[in-house]
Amino acid sequence: MDLNILWFILVAVLFIGFFVLEGFDYGVGMLLPIMGKTDTERRVIINTVGPVWDGNEVWVLTAGGAIFAAFPHWYATLFSGFYLALFLMLVALIIRAVAFEYRSKAEDPKWRAWWDRGIVFGSLIPAILWGVALGNMLRGVPIDADMHYVGTFFDLLNPYAIIGGLTSLSMFLLHGAIFLNLKTSGELSERALHLTRRIGPVTTVMVAIFIVSTYLMTDSFSRLGVNPGPVPIASLGALFAAAYFVHIGRLGWAFLMTSVNIGLSVITIFMALFPRVMVSSLDPAWSLTIYNASSSPKTLTIMSIVALIFIPIVLAYQTWTYWVFRHRISIESELTY
């Protein structure tokens, strides 16, 4: 394995961590007005992710930094071509972050209602746009021989990418609903279970549509064949396993299965791309790969040493954080947000 492949794998791992952890954050934020009937209930819901949401976002910042350093041409083409979409996502995330911090600074119901809308907006937009972005990377976008994106914003809003966005939206909603069942108690937990059972079938249908669309609208069929291998099959199996565990009331196992489903889905997308990182819809020869988009071997070597030192530290710290805030939150709990 050369360093280009190693960093392709590390970028995939960073995105897996981001989507698994931030995925339930987005789900909780989108479910806020549905789950929370009173201000106190909404505060309980927000406090389930309050101590961890900003730490979860570190994963995508690290992934972006890794792409910038390891594959600068990928970074340049991605961020210039998807500029408006990424700008919209950034605005949504800023609004979401401010809403978390400012919501409880005043007791005025109108004040809190507006910040609640900010949390919903800041969770909904990224949940959709991440699926749209991954869909476009897999399907292909207009990239010329000089690695420049030559399309428009509306080229990104093709049917396949929109299906990808709706699929990621439904997956995060399910992930968040199960998380809320684990982190709340009493009526809120029962309400979350009811929502989980309603969202689950919709998510399954969307995943099925996305799989069929991937075979029809991308080159995955020619690259992976009719039998895509154990990883995509295991991803779909994890989703059905989650449904089974929800049915028998084992929500901890269900959450583990949705995490596995999200993680294996990301691996499947990166497998379908490899060794490419962005597909050119104009000419396959103009696609960006882990070789023509990468930094120098010296840069990759230095980055590998740094990653070997600091990634275990970050993992240990985040594991400790989740352990400290592992308890359920109830209406009687001391609420911070």
CATH class of 3-324: mainly alpha
The whole-chain average pLDDT of the chain stands at: 90
Instruction: Note the pLDDT tens digit of each residue in 77-117.
Output: 998 889 999 999 999 999 999 999 898 888 888 999 999 99
Q: What angle do CA 256, 258, 262 make, to 5 degrees?
A: 115
Instruction: Let me know: does 297 contact 3? Beta carbons within 8 Å.
Output: yes
Per-residue pLDDT tens for 44-81?
Answer: 999 999 888 888 888 988 899 999 999 999 999 998 88
With 80 as the cut, is the pLDDT of residue 252 above it? yes
Using one digit for the tens of pLDDT, what is the confidence trace for 125-151? 999 999 999 999 999 999 999 999 998
pLDDT at 224: 67
Query: Quick one: pLDDT band at residue 279, thresholds 50, 70, 90?
Result: very high
| 161, amino acid identity | A
Q: Write out the DSSP string of 204-218.
A: HHHHHHHHHHHHHHS
Mean pLDDT of the 3-32 span = 94
Terminal Cα-to-Cα distance of the chain (whole angstroms): 47
Confidence label for 334 from pLDDT (cuts 50, 70 and 90): low
Phi then psi dihedrals of residue 278, to 5 deg? -145, 135
Give the residue from 239, 254, 120 showing the smallest Cα distance to 179: 254
Q: What is the pLDDT of residue 228?
A: 72
Tell whether the model's pLDDT for residue 337 goes beyond 80. Answer: no
The percentage of the chain sitting over the pLDDT mark of 90, rounded to a whole number, equals: 65
- pLDDT, tens digit, for every residue of 216-250? 888 877 766 666 778 888 998 999 999 999 999 89
Q: What is the pLDDT of residue 15?
A: 94
Q: Looking at residue 254, what is its pLDDT? A: 95
pTM of the predicted model as reported, rounded to 2 decimal places: 0.92
